[in-house]
């Protein structure tokens, strides 16, 4: 080979070695002649790191081995022609749709991020809703107003509330003497919450309270100031909630503009 040809070959080799695209496409392993690109290993490592794993040689080794095993199984699938099965093709199409839908949702949230202002507004709404007190509450739930009135009469004759609670339709609280634990009024449906907030410590409702669940007799055992979590403590939950609401709206907008027959 002439010096001119040698220099040309070296130039081509140098271009390949130092080309970023080529570096990204280098092989992490060859499995029966099929290359597993290093970029696939790097992507898997990145996914693990976002879940809290440390990027270590051991992690990379395990990921490489798992990708090799996957490739071997895929090659066996091809030999058995399982990828030609109608059921498998349908499953693969559904999986492809899921990946693409997730990509759409991620892109939508990237273009429509939840702002700190929106999160703080949601937090203030939450604080106003839960109020500044929480209550230790008991109740007895029955089918009819007459049953509830009979319970109130018995309470007036010094019957024990926790004993009478054994007949409650709400078997979960009934097994605990009617106790619902420490709760805020917004936890309940409006008629229950309104009746609760008229009671003083140790009092029970003198008239039955009707909700969609039946008829209640409610007792207030105690109350105390409510310590609302700080904004930073609940911010992730509000972030998730607002993201879900945003996604639901995006889907609703797509449905509204679609022609579905």
Alpha carbon distance 247, 113 (integer Å): 11
* Same domain? 84 vs 39: yes
Query: Is the domain of 199 the same as that of 242?
Result: no
- Name, in order, each residue with C-beta under 8 angstroms of 231's C-beta and a sequence gap of 6 or more: 119, 120, 123
Residues 89 and 147 in one domain: no
Q: Is the per-residue pLDDT at 185 higher than 90?
A: yes
- Rounded Cα gap, residues 225 and 204, in angstroms: 21
**CA separation for the pair 237, 225 (Å, rounded):** 23
The pLDDT value recorded for residue 131 is 87
Element holding 125 (H helix, E strand): helix 116-130
For the chain, the domain total comes to: 3
Per-residue pLDDT, 25? 61
Per-residue pLDDT at 81 exceeds 50: yes
Phi and psi, residue 216, nearest 5°? -110, 145
Is 195 part of any domain? yes
How would DSSP label each residue in 5-69?
HHHHHHHHHHHHHH-HHHHHT-EEEEETTEEEEHHHHHHHHHHHHHTT----HHHHHHHHHHHHH
Q: Does some domain include residue 88? A: yes
Contact predicate 185/120, CB 8 Å: no
Tell me, yes or no, whether 221 and 236 share the same domain: no
Tens digits of per-residue pLDDT, 20-34?
444 456 899 999 999
More confident residue, 181 or 129: 181
242: pLDDT strictly greater than 70 = yes
Mean pLDDT confidence for 167-179: 96
Does 148 map to a domain?
A: yes
Dist. CA 233–CA 58, nearest whole Å: 34
Contact by Cβ (8 Å): 218, 191: no
Let me know whether 204 and 139 are in one domain.
yes
The residue range of the domain holding 191 is: 132-225
**pLDDT average, residue stretch 166-177:** 95
pLDDT, the chain, mean? 90
Kindly tell me if the per-residue pLDDT of 14 is higher than 50: no
Phi/psi at 110 (nearest 5 deg)?
-65, -35
- Please state the rounded mean pLDDT for residues 154-168: 96
Q: Is residue 102 part of a domain?
A: no
User: Is 124 part of any domain?
Assistant: no
Classify residue 200: in a domain, yes or no: yes
Averaged pLDDT for residues 219-242: 94
Is residue 6 predicted with pLDDT exceeding 60?
no
CATH code, domain with 72 = 1.10.8
Residues 212 and 242 in one domain: no
pLDDT (average), residues 206-217: 97
Q: Do 137 and 204 lie in a common domain?
A: yes
One domain for residues 89 and 145:
no
Question: Is there a single domain that holds both residue 31 and residue 88?
Answer: yes
Phi, psi (rounded to 5 degrees) for 140: -125, 125
pTM recorded for the entire structure: 0.59
Q: Which of 16-20, 62-66, 163-167 has the lowest mean pLDDT?
A: 16-20
| Mean pLDDT across 75-89 | 95
Partners of 80 in the beta sheet?
none
Do residue 80 and residue 145 come from a single domain? no
Domain assignment present for 48: yes
């Amino acid at each position: 080979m002439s010096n001119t040809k040698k220099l040309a070959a070296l130039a081509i080799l140098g271009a390949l070695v130092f080309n970023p695209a080529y570096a990204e496409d280098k092989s992490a392993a060859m499995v029966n002649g099929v290359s597993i690109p290093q970029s696939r290993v790097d992507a898997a490592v990145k996914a693990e790191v976002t879940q809290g794993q440390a990027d270590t040689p051991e992690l990379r080794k395990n990921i490489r081995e798992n990708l090799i095993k996957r490739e071997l199984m895929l090659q066996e699938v091809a030999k058995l022609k399982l990828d030609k099965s109608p059921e498998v093709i349908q499953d693969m199409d559904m999986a492809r749709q899921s990946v693409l839908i997730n990509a759409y949702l991620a892109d939508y949230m990237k273009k429509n991020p939840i702002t700190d202002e929106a999160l703080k507004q949601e937090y203030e709404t939450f604080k106003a809703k839960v109020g500044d007190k929480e209550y230790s509450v008991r109740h007895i739930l029955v089918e009819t107003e007459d049953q509830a009135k009979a319970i109130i009469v018995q309470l007036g004759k010094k019957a024990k509330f926790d004993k009478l609670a054994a007949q409650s339709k709400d078997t979960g609280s009934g097994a605990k003497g009617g106790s619902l634990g420490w709760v805020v009024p917004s936890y309940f449906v409006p008629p229950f919450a309104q009746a609760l907030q008229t009671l003083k410590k140790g009092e029970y409702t003198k008239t039955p309270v009707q909700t969609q669940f039946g008829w209640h007799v409610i007792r207030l055992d105690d109350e105390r100031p409510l310590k609302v979590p700080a904004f930073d403590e609940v911010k992730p939950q509000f972030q998730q909630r607002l993201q879900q609401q945003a996604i639901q709206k995006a889907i609703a907008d797509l449905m509204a503009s679609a022609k579905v027959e």
